[in-house]
Amino acid sequence: MSRISQVRASFVRSMRIFLRDKAIIGSSVLIPVFFLIVLPLVLFQDVPIEFMPAVKGFLVIAMVTLLIMSTAMSNLPGSIAADRDDDLYSKLSSMPVNPLYECMGRIVTVFVFSAIGSMIVIALGLALGAVLVVKTIDLLLILGIASVVILFVSGLGLVIASFVKSESAAAHIGVAIVLVNYFIGIAFPYRDLPELLKPMVHVNPVCIGNNMIAVLTVGEEFLGYNPFNFMDATVLLLLAALMFTIGLYIYSRYCWRR
Amino acid sequence: MKTTRTVLDAREITKSYNGKKVLDNVSLQIRANDFYVLMGPNGSGKSTLLSILAGTNSADSGFVKILGNDIRQCKLETREHIGYVPQESFCSDFLTGRENLEYFAGLLGLTKSQAREKIERLLRLMNLEEEADKRVAGYSGGMKKKLEVATALLSDAKILFLDEPTTGLDPNVRKDFLDLLQGINEQGTAVLLVTHIGEDAESASRVGFMMQGEIVAEGSPEQLKEMSGLKSSIIVDASPKSDELMLLLASLGSDCIVAEKETLLELTCEDPKMMIPEIVHVLYKAGFDMRRVDSRPPSLEDVFYGLTECPVRGEA
């Protein structure tokens, strides 16, 4: 009971902060929404009209991935760093609270906030003409892949939060990592990537997860390769599990002083 | 009848940072009815000691027992008896006062009805009922401190640790806050407050003076004042302020010393109470306009200075 209560308390608090902090809403949700509206007008003017629905569909998936990354790698560490600045962890350390349960509440927040943001981005994308063809049976698979990606980026976010002490530095380092990830394998379909970047996609769980969801929603032909192979799937699952475990361990060791 | 069982027993605590000893063999016992104030200048080690006693920092050697349980080895549940209020304001500005309390109640595993009942009681106790549903961002410093004390009382805290809670509060709010702590103490919760402000310690049951990682003197405020050998002084507010006035006061006795203290004059002598009628008589005769002549007992900041030769509001 106490475990669930601790996770729930931590979740409710973080969720309230995420929904009330304009900086978090702006950086996580409004930027993908802005890109979703503006990019087709600026970058895709030369794309033949019959390809636009698929291009926009791919853009929707990329924006959802961007949103998840921003939430987990920038806003999560930023909020943790802010709490550390306010001495919350000294207070928590004096209480009968398990760091892992407190942390799980924060991770659940990343899941729920990302889900809400993703629904907004997807709804807007569909309204703007994106086409996402999803079989009912694939929906669970997509949710599973997205969850694995969230675990990976949350682990990374926890590591950033544990080592970067100030709120703005934690958030900015997170944004830098988000942008690097975005441009090395998410912004463009695999087939359009320079040869130099292609191997990096296969060792980056965020790119693999993004590509898997893209294949399930806009098709393998558009992406230019099928990430549903043994190597990519193994990398995705192993690195996500590893990074999440490392994140949890480092968070409970360095953010909590006992 | 008040209980006098030992709530906190800390022995031979030492702590070093980068080879520099911050705490040197500090021992401290707090009983259930104690209102203990630990006074010391910045850097004297008092906040480090408090964090070790509250279980948020570890000592290099020594032990801390809360209700007989070693804080390093005991189960997590023993921490329910600790109410810790760190120096920084840890309640989220994005949440209301009530939501902040709900968060800490949830972490403690209170059921919804238990939490609601306790939160209402604490909001009443802290006089925060009207502000409970406003965001903490709009709270004053005093209200934030009260809210933080309320979070510390959500569990069955047997001892409250407060790290410089009155810093930045204006005198009236500080007095109000200290009265609140006094009330909590009278209801059976021991209080250990760390401060560098002498007024915070005046109503304590025990006071410890901390210097360079050691508790150098300990006792009730009265005992410490007696220990220091300091006597009351006489405060004179008369006009016109002139050298003549100072010379007149200094001439009242061979042991009289006159010093300017802001807009007032302070006279120290062997027997201040006996001296007051004489001062009034002499100043009246000399035609000075008197607004105030009364005795002032030595403050605990004076006593700290007297015993350690270091101002408590400075650096250690």
DSSP string for A47-70 = S-GGGHHHHHHHHHHHHHHHHHHH
Q: Is B107 in Cβ contact with A10 (below 8 Å)?
A: yes
C-alpha distance from residue B184 to each of A234, B32, B116, B158 (Å): 58, 12, 20, 10
Chain B residue numbers with beta carbons less than 8 Å from the beta carbon of A166 are none
Quote the CA–CA distance of A23 and A82 in Å, as a whole number: 13
**Nearest to residue B27, comparing CAs of B1, B63, B56?**
B63
Cβ–Cβ below 8 Å for B90 and A10 = no
Please give the ipTM for the structure prediction.
0.91
pLDDT in tens, A73-118: 999 999 999 999 999 999 999 999 999 999 999 999 999 999 999 9
Chain B contacts in chain A segment 17-36 (CB below 8 A): 17, 20-21
- Taken in order B225, B174, B213, B313, the sign of the CA dihedral is negative
Other residues' Cβ atoms within 10 Å of the Cβ of residue A142: 18
Radius of gyration of chain B (CA): 23
Cis preceding-peptide flag for B240 (omega within 30 of 0) = yes
Q: Are B158 and B5 in contact (CB under 8 A)?
A: no
Strand partners, B15: B23
> What is residue A78's three-state secondary structure?
helix
Query: Are residues A13 and B79, on separate chains, in Cβ contact within 8 Å?
Result: no
A95 neighbourhood in chain B, CB within 8 Å: 79-80, 82, 84, 104, 107-108, 155
Q: Within 10 Å of residue B202's Cβ, how many Cβ atoms?
A: 14
Which pairing describes strands B233-239 and B289-296: parallel, antiparallel, or unpaired?
A: antiparallel
Give residue-wise pLDDT tens across range A127-151. 999 999 998 889 999 999 999 999 9
Determine the distance in angstroms separating the CA of A206 from the nearest CA of chain B, rounded to an integer: 31
Q: Which residues of A touch B161 (CB under 8 A)?
A: 94
Report the SS3 class of residue A85. Answer: helix
B69-70 vs B61-66, strand pairing mode: antiparallel
Task: Determine contact: B63 vs chain A, CB below 8 A.
Answer: no
All residues at 6 or more sequence positions from A165 whose CB lies less than 8 Å from its CB, including other chains: A81, A84
pLDDT of residue B252: 85
Chain B residues touching residue A2 (CB < 8 angstroms):
109
Q: Is B304 on the interface with A (CB under 8 A)?
A: no
Apex A135 CA angle, A131 and A141, nearest 5:
105
φ and ψ of B232, to 5 deg? -65, 155
Start-to-end CA distance of chain B, whole Å, equals: 40
Could you tell me if B80 lies within 8 Å of chain A, comparing CB atoms? Answer: yes
Chain A residues touching B82 at Cβ < 8 A? 94-95
Q: Is B203 on the interface with A (CB under 8 A)?
A: no
Chain A residues inside the 8 Å CB shell of B112: none
- Give the integer Cα–Cα distance in Å for B305 and A166: 38
Phi, psi of B274 (to 5 degrees): -70, -25
Give Cβ neighbours of residue A34 (< 8 Å, ≥ 6 apart): none
Instruction: Show the beta-strand stretches assigned E in chain B.
Output: 6-17, 20-31, 35-39, 61-66, 69-70, 82-85, 159-163, 190-195, 206-211, 214-219, 233-239, 257-261, 264-268, 289-296
Q: Which two tokens stand for residue B100?
A: 């902040």
H or E, element range at A186: none
| Residue B36 Cα distances to A129, A224, B119, B195, angstroms | 69, 72, 26, 11
Check CB contact under 8 Å for A13 and B95.
yes
Tokens of B189: 């919760």
* pTM score above 0.90: no
* pLDDT tens for chain B, residues 1 to 316: 445 789 999 999 999 999 899 999 999 999 999 999 999 999 899 999 999 999 999 999 999 999 998 888 766 777 889 999 999 999 999 999 999 999 999 999 999 999 999 999 999 999 999 999 999 999 999 999 999 999 999 988 999 999 999 988 888 888 999 999 999 999 999 999 999 998 899 889 999 999 999 999 999 999 998 888 887 888 899 888 888 888 888 888 877 888 887 788 888 887 777 888 888 998 889 999 888 888 888 888 888 888 887 887 766 6
Binary contact (A95, B102; C-beta < 8 A): no
Instruction: Tell me how far CA of residue B293 lies from CA of A85, B251, B271, in angstroms.
Output: 48, 17, 15
Residue type, B78: T
- CB atoms near residue A99 (< 10 Å): 19
Among candidates A109, A140, A113, A145, which has minimal Cα distance to A10? A109
pLDDT at A1: 47
**Residue A193: how many CA atoms within 13 Å on its side-chain side?**
23
What does the block give as tokens for A253?
């060791």
Alpha carbon separation from B1 to B33, B66, B182, B188 (Å, rounded): 11, 22, 17, 11
Count of CB pairs separated by less than 8 Å, A with B: 94
Residue whose structure tokens are 């980068």 = B18
The beta-carbon neighbor of B77 closest among A6, A96, A258 is A96
Write down the pLDDT at residue B1.
Answer: 47
Strand-pairing partners, residue A66, are none
d(CA A17, CA B313): 37
Q: From CA A55, how far away is CA B143, in angstroms rounded?
A: 54
- Please state, in angstroms and rounded to a whole number, the distance separating the CA atoms of residues B246 and B104: 59
Q: Is the pLDDT of residue A218 over 80?
A: yes
CB distance B180 to B146 below 8 Å = yes
Closest-CA distance of chain A to residue B312, Å: 25
pLDDT, position A44: 82
Q: Residue B30: phi, psi to the nearest 5?
A: -125, 130
Map residue B183 onto helix, strand or coil: helix
Q: Which residues of A touch B55 (CB under 8 A)?
A: 93-94, 258
For residue A90, give the nearest of B58, B76, B86 by CB distance: B86
Q: Do B79 and A6 touch (CB under 8 A)?
A: no
> How many angstroms separate the most distant Cα atoms in chain B?
74
| Interface test mutation site (partner B, options A4, A7, A13, A113, max chain B beta carbons within 10 A) | A13
Task: Provide the shortest C-alpha distance from residue A99 to chain B (in Å).
Answer: 11
- Give the pLDDT confidence score for residue A139 in this predicted structure: 94
Please name the residue of chain A whose CA is at the shortest distance from the CA of residue B53: A94
Q: Name the CA radius of gyration of chain A, rounded.
A: 18
By C-alpha distance, which of B255, B307, B271 is closest to B40? B307
CA-CA distances (angstroms) from residue A5 to A87, B36, B104? 22, 34, 10
DSSP letter at B157?
A: -
Q: Cβ contact (<8 Å) for B77 and A10?
A: no
Q: Does B284 touch chain A (CB under 8 A)?
A: no
State the pLDDT at residue A64: 97
Residue B314's nearest CA partner among B40, B86, B48 is B40
Phi, then psi, of B87 in degrees rounded to 5: -65, -40
Interchain contact, B155 vs A95, CB within 8 Å: yes
Structure tokens, B302? 């004076």
Chain A hits for B102, Cβ within 8 Å: 9, 12
Handedness of CA A83, A84, A89, A91 (dihedral sign): negative
Q: With an 8 Å Cβ cutoff, are A96 and B151 in contact?
A: no
Residue A105 in tokens? 């509440």
Partners of B31 in beta bridges = B6
Q: Residue B316: what pLDDT?
A: 64
Find the closest chain A residue to B47 by CA distance: A90
Instruction: Round the average pLDDT of chain A to a whole number and report it.
Output: 94
